[in-house]
Amino acid sequence: MHRFGENNMKIKGLVVGLLTACCVMVLPNAQAQQDPEYWRWFEVEVLLFKHTVSQDISERFPLKVEAINTANATDLIAPIVNQDFHSLRDNLPLCELSENDWQWGDLPCRYEDEHLTVGINGSPFNRPSKLAQLEQLPVHFADDAKDIETARHPFLVPNDHWVLDETEQALEQRGLAEPLLHLAWRQPVFGRDDDYKFRLYGGRNFAERYQFNGFMKPQEGLHLAPREQQLEADPLTRRMQNIDELFAILNKGDYRFGTNEGGQPLAPMQPDASDTPVWELDGTLHIFLVGNYLHIKGDFNLREEALVAPPRGELSAQASDMLASSLTQIEGQRFLRSYRFDQLRRVISHETHYFDHPKLGMIVQIRRTDLSARRY
């Protein structure tokens, strides 16, 4: 009993010691995530581009887009595009807007107390952001230098910090790639569970023609065919007229029945009437530390216009859809398909890392700063 009690005390002492050591290790880390004085800052440069040389794609990509959660990701691009010069605006004369003129143009004037207005969907005073109005996003983004010693938020750096300029130029000049986004910033880097991501996007804005789900917007997608309705006709007569019309279209070869690529069903969703941009490239970049090892997690969708076969379904349903629409493209209907990029890699600072993909390429370099070392 005495030996058992002695061993039990030793085990208990060992457990208490381990728990104490764990607490000593964990507490500074928790404090480091909350206190900017402990943040570990790194400089990140990213070049994203799409391949312009056709490649044999053995991997099958789904047609549908799988949405990426960007709600809590830091956006360094929108503040640059949407920046509002308050001092310049305040010196403009007041606008004189007619009673029924709600069209917004490039008016060299300002509205009284417009900086106090609250954005309400549908309000004529709720002007769309500059970002939402762009048809194409610039490739390069940079900003003035900031003091990293006093910074409390991530920030873009001037382009004289960039080291991937020659790489970008070489890819473009050789006709191998089309740059979509090139920028560099400084940020604190935390652990993986902190989920401290950055939203990156670029290329064309497809929102004018397509919904986010890939289907064309109603005004350019499916339209009702102009057919005269004979209300006086009995149901049997109307059915025979529909059958005659169906055979007439089929005989002309203006429509074909089929399945989507890979047999994937495509069911239209409710039309998206919002002005939210649908970017050619959109997603998140997550840089995090596991111990002292840096990791890069890229998660993007690359959108591309394509022609797909009519939606799969029963023959009768396809015939009904065809009769109710004027969509008669032999090659199929237009659809904004998606190619998913989802890669994770452990990396070393100051080395250039290339992430390959059949459609998309990403080059990343993470550089140390004076505040990169652990300070706890």
How deeply is 173 buried, as exposed, middle or buried, from its count of CB atoms within 10 A (0-12, 13-18, 19+)? exposed
What's the pLDDT at 221?
42
Place of tokens 């990509």: 61
Place of tokens 């940079």: 142
Q: Evaluate whether 168 touches 182 at the Cβ level (below 8 Å).
A: yes
How confident is the model over 11-35, as a mean pLDDT? 47
Q: How confident is the model at residue 15 (pLDDT cuts 50, 70, 90)?
A: very low
Please determine, for residue 358, whether its predicted confidence score (pLDDT) is greater than 50. Answer: yes
Q: Supply angle C-alpha 148, 149, 152, rounded to 5.
A: 70
Say which residue, 12 or 53, is predicted with more confidence: 53
How deeply is 365 buried, as exposed, middle or buried, from its count of CB atoms within 10 A (0-12, 13-18, 19+)? buried
The radius of gyration of the chain's CA atoms, rounded to the nearest angstrom, is 29
Please determine, for residue 17, whether its predicted confidence score (pLDDT) is greater than 90. Answer: no
How deeply is 306 buried, as exposed, middle or buried, from its count of CB atoms within 10 A (0-12, 13-18, 19+)? middle
For the beta sheet containing 279-290, the strands, ordered from the edge strand earlier in sequence to the opposite edge, are 74-75, 197-205, 279-290, 293-308, 333-347
pLDDT in tens, 48-83: 999 998 776 656 788 889 999 999 999 999 999 988
Say which residue, 372 or 319, is predicted with more confidence: 372
296, two tokens? 């890069």
pLDDT in tens, 119-138: 555 555 555 678 888 999 99
Q: How confident is the model at residue 312 (pLDDT cuts 50, 70, 90)?
A: low
Whole-angstrom distance, CA of residue 362 vs CA of residue 181: 10
pLDDT in tens, 134-190: 999 999 999 999 999 999 999 999 999 999 999 999 999 999 899 999 999 999 999
Alpha carbon of residue 282 to chain centroid: 2
Q: Evaluate whether 53 touches 192 at the Cβ level (below 8 Å).
A: no
Say which residue, 8 or 337, is predicted with more confidence: 337
- Whole-number mean pLDDT of the chain? 76
What's the pLDDT at 94?
72
Q: Evaluate whether 302 touches 267 at the Cβ level (below 8 Å).
A: no
What's the pLDDT at 219?
61
Residue 277: CB partners within 8 Å, gap ≥ 6? Answer: 131, 132, 134, 201, 205, 207
How confident is the model over 16-23, as a mean pLDDT? 42
Q: How confident is the model at residue 331 (pLDDT cuts 50, 70, 90)?
A: very low
